[in-house]
């Protein structure tokens, strides 16, 4: 990727469903070329934030600005649990969906795009599974396929929602190394994570949510005992 890194800026952005606010008044910037983890208790609004940046949810208040490039600059790796693995499609077909912005919805895939898809599968160690149905994949294999689709998208901003959930430690280590490599190319990485040790080891920046922003900045400061306690307390009050 040769394009300049892109930032993601939120200004007083709130998101929710059916009139209920799930995440309130987020203001701040994911720096261009930065690597930021999004953490917080269950129900804190982490996935809601990712969907809001992607445009799946429209802001109830405020706005989201993607550099100057718009949402075509974004690649999204959703939670695997949100995908219907019973849908009759192959691994290669799923990975090829990452090319739709270049190819369009109705055109066939040429040799260059198919080569790109196969290279992505080779990168995640699943080239020999290209013709298999996605319903036959394990949890770890499915995550590898989703990473391959993200590689095919070749976007400057990567949004990942629990990318290492339900995978073994070996797979998690390999995918984390791949993600670090993508960040090293200048991409902006924003990832929802639960493993705070992994966040401390690999993510220089961190956003702590609990229905709103608790803290946002360098990881060591954001994940202080004081901030983590505040996040738990905010979350508990929201369910009283």
| Confidence category of residue 234, pLDDT binned at 50, 70, 90 | confident
| Confidence category of residue 105, pLDDT binned at 50, 70, 90 | low
Domains of the chain with CATH codes: 8-238 (3.40.50.300)
Greatest C-alpha distance within the chain: 57
pTM beyond 0.75, yes or no: yes
Q: How far apart are alpha carbons 141 and 73 in whole angstroms? A: 26
**Centroid of chain to Cα 64:** 16
Contacts for 138 with CB less than 8 Å, ≥ 6 apart: none
Q: What is the per-residue pLDDT for 57?
A: 95
* Per-residue model confidence as pLDDT tens digits over 23-52: 999 999 999 999 999 999 999 999 999 999
| Rg value, the chain, Cα | 18
Q: What is the per-residue pLDDT for 239?
A: 44
**Centroid of chain to Cα 140:** 16
| Confidence category of residue 101, pLDDT binned at 50, 70, 90 | confident
């Amino acid at each position: 990727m040769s394009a300049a890194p892109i930032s993601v800026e939120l200004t007083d952005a709130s998101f929710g469903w059916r009139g209920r606010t799930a995440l309130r008044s987020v203001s701040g910037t994911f720096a261009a070329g930065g690597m930021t983890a999004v953490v917080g208790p269950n129900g804190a609004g982490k996935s809601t934030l990712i969907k809001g940046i992607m445009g799946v949810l429209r802001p109830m208040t405020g706005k989201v600005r993607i550099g100057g490039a718009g949402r075509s600059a974004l690649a999204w790796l959703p939670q695997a649990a949100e995908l219907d693995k019973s849908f009759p499609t192959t691994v290669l077909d799923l990975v090829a969906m990452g090319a739709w912005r270049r190819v369009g919805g109705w055109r066939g895939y040429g040799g260059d795009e198919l080569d790109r898809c196969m290279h992505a599968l080779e990168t995640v160690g699943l080239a020999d599974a290209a013709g298999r149905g996605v319903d036959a994949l394990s949890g770890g294999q499915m995550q590898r396929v989703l990473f391959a689709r993200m590689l095919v998208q070749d976007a400057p901003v990567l949004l990942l929602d629990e990318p290492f959930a339900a995978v073994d430690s070996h797979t998690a280590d390999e995918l984390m190394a791949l993600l670090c490599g993508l960040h090293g190319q200048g991409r902006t990485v924003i990832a929802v994570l639960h493993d705070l040790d992994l966040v401390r080891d690999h993510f220089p920046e961190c956003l702590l949510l609990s229905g709103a922003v608790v803290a946002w900045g360098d990881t060591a400061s954001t994940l202080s005992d004081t901030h983590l306690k505040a996040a738990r307390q905010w979350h508990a009050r929201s369910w009283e």
